[in-house]
Amino acid sequence: MRILVDNNISYRVCALFHKSEDVCKHVSDFHLDKNTDDASIWQFAKNNSFIILTKYNDFEAMSRLFGCPPKVIQLLSGNTKTVDLLIVLEKKLPSIEQFESDNENCLMYLQ
C-alpha cells in the first residue's frame, strides 16, 4: 500500500503504515508544502501510485469529478489529536487494505 498524507494531517501517522510492503509519505517529504495546489498533489499521487489521505473535502470533489487514480481516503474526524487519529486508522486498517484492492471505489470515508 502507498499512502500520501496531506498537509492537514501530521506526518506521524505514517508510523502506522510502515509494514514491510507499505509506503507512507507526507507531502512535505516531496517538498509539496502548504502553498502547493491540490491539483499538483493530485497529479503527484496519480503519477506515483499513492492513495491520498486527507481531512478536507477538496480531494473528495476531485475524486467525484475525475475518478481514480488516485484513490482518496477522507477522514471525517475533524481536528483530532494525532494519537487519536492513529487509533482510528489502526482500527480501520483492514478496511483500508480492502479499499486499496477494490477496483470499483475511488473514495473512502473514515470516521
C-beta neighbour count of 14 within 10 angstroms: 19
Instruction: Write out the three cell numbers for 15.
Output: 508510523
Judge whether 62 and 41 are in contact, CB under 8 Å.
no
Q: Which residue has the cell 507526507?
A: 26
Q: Is the pTM for the entire model greater than 0.75? A: yes
Domain borders along the chain are 2-110
Q: Which residue has the cell 510502515?
A: 18
Judge whether 37 and 58 are in contact, CB under 8 Å.
no
pLDDT (tens place) for every residue of the chain, 111 residues total: 899 999 989 999 988 877 767 899 999 999 998 889 999 999 999 999 999 999 988 999 999 999 999 999 999 987 888 888 888 888 999 999 999 999 999 999 998
- Where on the phi/psi map is residue 67: left (φ > 0), alpha (ψ -120 to 50), or beta? left
